[in-house]
Structure 1
Amino acid sequence: MRAYADSDYPANHKPDWKVIAGLWPYLAEFRGRVALSVAFLILAKLATVATPVALKYIVDYLDQGREGELLLWIPLVLVLAYGVLRFASTLFSELRDAVFARVAERAMRRVSLRVFRHLHNRELAFHLDRKTGGLARDIERGTTGISFLLRFTLFNIVPTLLEILMVAGVLLAAFNASYVFAILIAVAVYIVFSIVVTEWRTRFVREANARDNQSNSRAIDSLLNYETVKYFNNEQFEADLYDQDLEGWEQARLKNRLSLAALNTGQAFIIGVAMIVMMAMAVREVASGAITLGDFTMINAYLLQLFIPLNALGFVYREIRQSLVNVERLFGLLDEKPAVADAAEAPALVVDKGEVGFHHVYFAYRADRRILQDVDFSIPAGHTLAIVGASGAGKSTLARLLFRFFDVDKGYITIDGQDIREVSQDSLRAAIGVVPQDTVLFNDTLYRNLAYGRPEATEAEVHHAVRQAHLDDFIRSLPEGYDTKVGERGLKLSGGEKQRVAIARVLLKNPPLLILDEATSSLDSISEQAILGALNEVSRQRTTLVIAHRLSTVRDADTILVMDHGQIVESGGHGELLAQNGYYARLWLQQQHSDEEEERT
C-alpha cells in the first residue's frame, strides 16, 4: 500500500476493509477494557429489547382493567420495571463508553506519536517534496478516523445488528413469522441501498478532501512566504490562487451535500414504507382480535426502536467508509519505508580520532543529473578542510552525504574507518555539529532555541555558548532578553543574528566533527571577522568540513579542495593554490574585484 498524493489518489479507489484488522494491536493493549465494554454493550441491548415487553404488559393490564377490577400496584410495578429497563439501557451504554474511552484515546495517542516519529525518520528527499498543509490534514483526519472506527464499528454497527436479531427473535416467538420477514426485507433493502449510494458518493467525499488539502497547502505555503509575497506586491495574486482552490473545494462540497441529501431521502422513504406496511399488519390483527392492544404497542415500540438506530447505521456506514479512506492514507504513509535506514543491528559510531574519508563517491539526486563523480579525499583528525567552487558544484551535497541525509550511489564514506552506512544514524548525527547556510528557528523563546543544541544543558552552559558565539551583547540589548520570542522560522531575527544562534547551538552540542555550510554567508564583513574567530576556536581540536562560497573565510584551512561540476579539480593550501594560477586563483581574483567594488560603493 502506498500513500497517494492529493493529485494521484483515484476518486474511484475503494478503501481496503482490511484496514480495520490493522487496528487490533491498539485494542489488544486493553483486552480487559474491551471485554468489559462488550459485556456492558450486551446488557444495554438486552435492557433495550426488554423495554417494549414491559410496555406491552402495562397497556394490556390497563386495557383489561376497564372491564374488571384494577389493582393499582400491578401497573405501578410494571411502570417501575419499564423505567428501570430504560435507565439500565442508558446506564450500561454510558458505562460502556466510559470504559472504552481510554482505549480510543490511547490509540489516537499511539498513532499520532508513531506518525510523528516516522516522519522524522523519513529521508530529506521526502520532506523536500512534501506539502505540509495537506500532510497535516491527512494526519489529523487519519487519527480521528481511527478513533471513529474503534468506537462506531464496535459500538454502533455490532449493537444494531445484535438488536435486529434480538427483536426478530422476540417477534418470531410472540407473533407470526410475517413480522420477522417484513423487518428482514426492510433491513436488507435499507442496507443495500445505503451501501450502493454511499459507494457512489464516496468519490465526492474524496474530491472534497483532496481540494481541502490543496487549499490548505496553498494557504500555509503563502503565509510561510509572507515576505516574498510582499516583495512582489502579489497579495491579490495569492488570494486569487487560494480562491481558485476554494472554488474547487466549494464545488466538491456541494456535490457531497446534494448526494448526502439523496441518500438521506432514500433511507427515510424505505423506513417510512416499512413502518406503514408493518403497522397496517398490526392494525388488521388487532381489529380481528388476533393480537392485543399491548401487542400492537409493543410492535410499534420495536419498530421505532429498531429503525432509529438503523437510520443512524446509514450515517455510521458513511462515516466508517470515509474513516477507512482517511486511515488507509495514514497507514499508507506509515507503510512507506525511509529511503535512508539503519542496517540490521547497526552498532553505534565510535569516534576515536575523528578522521573522515570520502572514497570514490558518486551521487545523483536524479538518475539523469549526476552531482558527484569519483570524489575521493580524506580529512585527517583535528584538521580543517574547506570545499570551494561555483554554485551547483556539489559542495553542500558532500555535507548532506556525510550527515547521511542521502546515501551514496557508489563508493563509501568513513569516519575513523567505519562506513557510515553500517552504524546507527542516531550515533552518527550525535557526533556531527552543523552550522547551516539557512538557519531556521522554532517559534519559541530565544533561550529555548539556543538550548536546543543540548536540551539537558544547564543555564550556565547556554550562557557560555552565547558568549563564545559573540551573541551576548545582542541578547542584553533586547527588552525581554533570553525570553524574546523569535517568531515563526525565526523571522523576528536578522540573518546574522540567526547565524549566531546556530553557531551557539553547535558550541553547546560540542561534537567531535563539525560541518560549516557557508556559516558566515548572512554576516557583514565586520561581524564575519568576529564570528570567524569564534569558529576558529570551535574548529580547534575538531575535524571540520567547511563549505564556503566566500574564499576569504577559508584562507586558514589546512586543505582547500576546489570543485567544479561534481569533481575535485584542485587541492592544496591557500598560497599553494594561488601559485598554481588555476581555477581557484581565478575565483580569488573575481572575489577580490567584487569586494573592491563593494568598498568603493
Structure 2
Amino acid sequence: MRKLFRYLTSFKGPIALVIGLVFIQSMAELYLPTLMAKIIDTGVIKHDIPFILRIGGMMLLVAFAGTICSVSASYFSAKVAMSFGKMLRSKVFTHAEGFSLLEFGQIGTASLITRTTNDITQIQVVVNMILRMMISAPLMAIGGVIMAVSVNPGLSSVIVISAPLLLTGIAFVIWRGIPLFKKVQIRLDAVNRVLREGLTGVRVIRSFNRIHYEKNRFRKANANLRDTTIKVNKLIAVLMPFMMLVMNFTTIAIVWFGAIKIDAGNMMVGDLMAFLQYAMQIMFSMVMLSMMFILIPRASASASRINEVLAIKPSIEEKPANHESRMAGTIEFKDVSFHYPGAEKPALRNLSFTARPGEVTAIIGGTGSGKSTLLKLIPRFYEPSSGSILINGVPASDYPLEVLRNKIGLVPQKAVLFTGTVKENIRFGNERATDEEIVHAAKVAQAFDFISAMNDGFDSLISQGGTNVSGGQKQRLSIARAIVRKPEIYLFDDSFSALDFKTDANLRKALKKETGDSTVLIVAQRVSTVKDADRIIVLDDGNVMGIGTHEELLRMNATYQEIVKSQLSEEEIA
C-alpha cells in the first residue's frame, strides 16, 4: 500500500489538520479521568459543591472541545479518503485507457471493473480509518500508559501482562487473514465475470436453453465467495470475544488490587477510578488498532491488485508529434508478421501491400485467416511482431496515437453502441458534427429510413449494448458513426454481414461516392461485397495466397476460385 500512499502527498494540508484535531481530541479524552479523580477525591469526599461545579464545568468544556475536534476530524478524514479514492479511480481508468488489446486480455474486463470499484473502495475505508484511528489509537495507548503510571505505578503491572495478550491475538488474525482476504478479492472477480457474461449473453443463454447451467455456474462462484468470506469472518469473530475477555479480566484485576491498595491507605478512590479509565482507554486503543489490522490485510490485497494495473507498461508506446500530422491516407504493409502471445503459429505472415487514397482494398479469406487481425494493426491496437506499417511513408509507430486514430474511421466486426440517443451514438464519431451531417451520414449508411420510423427519430433512445435494435441496424449505425467522422482511412471489419443483399448493394454504392478521396479497407466474407474492389487480398491461415482484382484472381488464384465457387453459381461467375 505504500506505493499508493505516495499519492496522499496531494492532501498534505487536510491531513495535517486531521492530525492536529485528533491530537487535541486525544488529549481531551486523556485529561477527563484526571478531572474526574479530582471531583471524587476532593469534591465528593469533602462535600465541596463549588469545587465539584467548577471542575464539572471544566470537564464539560473539555468534552465539548473534544467532540468538536472529533466531528471535524471525521469530516476532513472522510473528505481526504473520498478524494484519494476519486484520484485512484481516475488514475486506474486513465492508465487502462492506454492499454492495448493485449493488456486487456491479460487482466480481463471483469477484474478491471472489480479493481476500479471494490478494491479502491476497500482502500478508501482504510485511509479514512488510518487518519482517525492509526493516529488516535497510539496517542491514547501511549498517553494512557503515561497517565496510568503517574497515578499508580504498582497497578501498571496489570497492563504490562494484559497488553501483550491482546497484541498476540491481533498478530494471529493478521497472519491468518492476509491470504484469505486475497482469496476473497479473487472470488469476487469470478462472481463479477460470471455475472457479466450471464447478463450480456442472456439472449444466447435463453436460445440454447442453458439457463440452469448458468444458474449453477453462478451458484458455484457465489458459494466460493461465500465460503471464503465466512472463513474470514470466523477469524474476526474469534478475535473480538477474546479481546473483551482480556479487557474484562484486566478490569477485575485492577479493581481487585486497587481495592487492596485503598484498604491499605496507599491509593485514593478517585485515583482508582482514573486508573481504571486509563486502562480502558489503553485497551480500547488496542481494539481500535485490531479493527485497523482486520481491514489492512484486505486493503493490502486490494492495493497490490491496483498496483498490478498501474505497473503494467502499455505495449503500445505513445510518441510525441515529430511529423506532420496531416496524412494523405496511403497505407503500406512491409513484410508484416504478427504473433498472438501464447499462440502456436503466427496470425499473419510476411504480408506486403499498399492501399492508396481513392482505392478500395478488400481482404477475404476463411475464418481464422487473419483478416480482422490485419485491420487491428493499422490503428495500433496491436504492434506487428516484425515488419513495418507506413502511413503516408512514415512508420505508424512514429505518430502520436491521437493523431493516427483521428484519421481512421473504424467499423468493428461486432457493432458496439452506447446508452444514449441515436444522434449521440452517431455523433460519437465526431463530437462537432452538425445535425445535417448526422442525417447525411445516416442516409449514406442506409439507416435513415429505420431511424425515421422510430418513435422519436434521431432522439430515440438506444439501450445498453443496442439491444433494442437489430444486428443490421446496429451495423448501419456503426457505419454512420464512421462516416460522420470524415476520416482519411476507412476500416470496415466484416461490417456488412448482417445486411441483406439489396441494402448491401445500396450501401456500397453510396459509400463509393462518400469515400472517393479516402483509403478504404474492407474485410468481408461475401464475394459480392469485394468483387468491385480495386485490390483484393486473399488470406488463408495467415498467409497471403494472392493479391489482385476480382477478374485476375478468378483466372489465376485457386484459393479465391474456391471461395467464389462456394458462394456464386456458374451463371453469376460467368
Is the shorter-chain TM-score for this pair beyond 0.5, marking a shared fold?
A: yes
Kindly state the Cα deviation for residue 346 of structure 1 after the two structures are TM-superposed: 5.4
**Greater mean deviation of Cα atoms: 404-413 or 296-305:** 296-305
Contact 2:418–2:464 (8 Å) recurs in 1:
yes
Aligned residue in 2 for 1:24: 6
Contact 1:133–1:213 (8 Å) recurs in 2:
yes
What CA distance in whole angstroms lies between the structure 1 residues aligned with 2:470 and 2:486? 25
Q: What is the 5 A alignment of 1:60-99?
A: 60-66=41-47, 70=48, 72-99=49-76
**Aligned with 1:354 (options 324, 329, 333):** 329
What CA distance in whole angstroms lies between the structure 2 residues aligned with 1:569 and 1:585? 11
Q: What is the 5 A alignment of 1:262-281?
A: 262-281=238-257
What CA distance in whole angstroms lies between the structure 1 residues aligned with 2:140 and 2:410? 63
1:43 aligned onto 2:20: no
1:340 aligned onto 2:316: yes
TM-score normalised by L of structure 2: 0.94
Kindly state the Cα deviation for residue 175 of structure 1 after the two structures are TM-superposed: 2.3
Contact 1:58–1:78 (8 Å) recurs in 2:
yes
Aligned residue in 1 for 2:560: 584
Contact 1:179–1:278 (8 Å) recurs in 2:
yes
1:253–1:98 CA distance, 2 compared to 1 (3 A): closer
Kindly state the Cα deviation for residue 142 of structure 1 after the two structures are TM-superposed: 2.2
Contact 2:185–2:302 (8 Å) recurs in 1:
no
Kindly state the Cα deviation for residue 524 of structure 1 after the two structures are TM-superposed: 0.7
Contact 1:349–1:424 (8 Å) recurs in 2:
no
Contact 1:286–1:293 (8 Å) recurs in 2:
yes
Kindly state the Cα deviation for residue 439 of structure 1 after the two structures are TM-superposed: 0.2
**Greater mean deviation of Cα atoms: 353-362 or 278-287:** 278-287
Kindly state the Cα deviation for residue 452 of structure 1 after the two structures are TM-superposed: 0.9
Q: Any gaps of 5 or more consecutive residues in structure 2?
A: none
What CA distance in whole angstroms lies between the structure 2 residues aligned with 1:60 and 1:348? 86
Q: What is the 5 A alignment of 1:262-341?
A: 262-341=238-317
Kindly state the Cα deviation for residue 464 of structure 1 after the two structures are TM-superposed: 2.7
**Aligned with 2:439 (options 463, 477, 484):** 463
**AA partner of residue 350 (structure 1):** S
Aligned residue in 2 for 1:212: 188
**AA partner of residue 434 (structure 1):** L
Could you report, residue by residue, the CA deviation over 1:21-54 in whole angstroms, capped at 9, with x for unpaired residues?
Answer: 53122x2212222212211111111111011111
Could you report, residue by residue, the CA deviation over 1:368-397 in whole angstroms, capped at 9, with x for unpaired residues?
Answer: 211211111111233221112222221111
What CA distance in whole angstroms lies between the structure 1 residues aligned with 2:298 and 2:380? 38
**What root-mean-square deviation, in Å, do the aligned CA atoms of Structure 1 and Structure 2 show?**
2.1
Contact 1:198–1:263 (8 Å) recurs in 2:
no
1:200–1:434 CA distance, 2 compared to 1 (3 A): same
What SS does the aligned partner of 2:363 have?
strand
1:474–1:432 CA distance, 2 compared to 1 (3 A): same
Contact 1:394–1:566 (8 Å) recurs in 2:
yes
**Greater mean deviation of Cα atoms: 371-380 or 206-215:** 206-215
**Aligned with 1:558 (options 521, 526, 534):** 534
What CA distance in whole angstroms lies between the structure 2 residues aligned with 1:118 and 1:507? 29
Contact 1:351–1:415 (8 Å) recurs in 2:
no
Q: What is the 5 A alignment of 1:17-416?
A: 19-25=1-7, 27-66=8-47, 70=48, 72-128=49-105, 130-176=107-153, 178-343=154-319, 345=320, 347=322, 350-365=325-340, 366-416=342-392
**Aligned with 2:507 (options 523, 531, 544):** 531
**AA partner of residue 146 (structure 1):** I
Could you report, residue by residue, the CA deviation over 1:469-519 in whole angstroms, capped at 9, with x for unpaired residues?
Answer: 222221111113223232221111111101110111011111111111112
What SS does the aligned partner of 1:38 have?
helix
**Greater mean deviation of Cα atoms: 57-66 or 230-239:** 57-66
Could you report, residue by residue, the CA deviation over 1:99-119 in whole angstroms, capped at 9, with x for unpaired residues?
Answer: 333322221111101111122
Kindly state the Cα deviation for residue 225 of structure 1 after the two structures are TM-superposed: 0.6
1:129–1:370 CA distance, 2 compared to 1 (3 A): same
What SS does the aligned partner of 1:65 have?
coil
What CA distance in whole angstroms lies between the structure 2 residues aligned with 1:118 and 1:460? 36
What SS does the aligned partner of 2:45 have?
helix
Could you report, residue by residue, the CA deviation over 1:500-546 in whole angstroms, capped at 9, with x for unpaired residues?
Answer: 10111011111111111112111011211221123212321001111
Kindly state the Cα deviation for residue 131 of structure 1 after the two structures are TM-superposed: 4.0
What SS does the aligned partner of 1:337 have?
coil
Contact 1:414–1:420 (8 Å) recurs in 2:
yes
Contact 2:148–2:279 (8 Å) recurs in 1:
no
What CA distance in whole angstroms lies between the structure 1 residues aligned with 2:158 and 2:436? 80
1:130–1:31 CA distance, 2 compared to 1 (3 A): closer
What CA distance in whole angstroms lies between the structure 1 residues aligned with 2:3 and 2:138? 20
**Aligned with 1:440 (options 375, 393, 416):** 416
What SS does the aligned partner of 1:370 have?
coil
Kindly state the Cα deviation for residue 134 of structure 1 after the two structures are TM-superposed: 3.6
Contact 1:45–1:159 (8 Å) recurs in 2:
yes
Could you report, residue by residue, the CA deviation over 1:332-358 in whole angstroms, capped at 9, with x for unpaired residues?
Answer: 121112222224x45466234221100
**AA partner of residue 356 (structure 1):** I
1:426 aligned onto 2:407: no
Kindly state the Cα deviation for residue 308 of structure 1 after the two structures are TM-superposed: 2.6
Q: Any gaps of 5 or more consecutive residues in structure 1?
A: 1-18, 597-601
Contact 2:15–2:131 (8 Å) recurs in 1:
no
TM-score normalised by L of structure 1: 0.90
Kindly state the Cα deviation for residue 594 of structure 1 after the two structures are TM-superposed: 10
Contact 2:18–2:131 (8 Å) recurs in 1:
no
What CA distance in whole angstroms lies between the structure 2 residues aligned with 1:414 and 1:468? 30
Which 4+ residue blocks in structure 1 deviate beyond 6 angstroms?
Answer: none
What CA distance in whole angstroms lies between the structure 1 residues aligned with 2:82 and 2:220? 37
What CA distance in whole angstroms lies between the structure 1 residues aligned with 2:400 and 2:207? 44
What CA distance in whole angstroms lies between the structure 2 residues aligned with 1:88 and 1:371? 71
Kindly state the Cα deviation for residue 272 of structure 1 after the two structures are TM-superposed: 2.1
What CA distance in whole angstroms lies between the structure 2 residues aligned with 1:236 and 1:244? 12
What CA distance in whole angstroms lies between the structure 1 residues aligned with 2:370 and 2:241? 63
What CA distance in whole angstroms lies between the structure 2 residues aligned with 1:165 and 1:586? 85
Kindly state the Cα deviation for residue 81 of structure 1 after the two structures are TM-superposed: 0.9
Contact 1:451–1:505 (8 Å) recurs in 2:
yes
What CA distance in whole angstroms lies between the structure 2 residues aligned with 1:194 and 1:141? 25
Could you report, residue by residue, the CA deviation over 1:49-102 in whole angstroms, capped at 9, with x for unpaired residues?
Answer: 011111111112233224xxx3x3221111111111112111111112223333
**AA partner of residue 518 (structure 1):** D
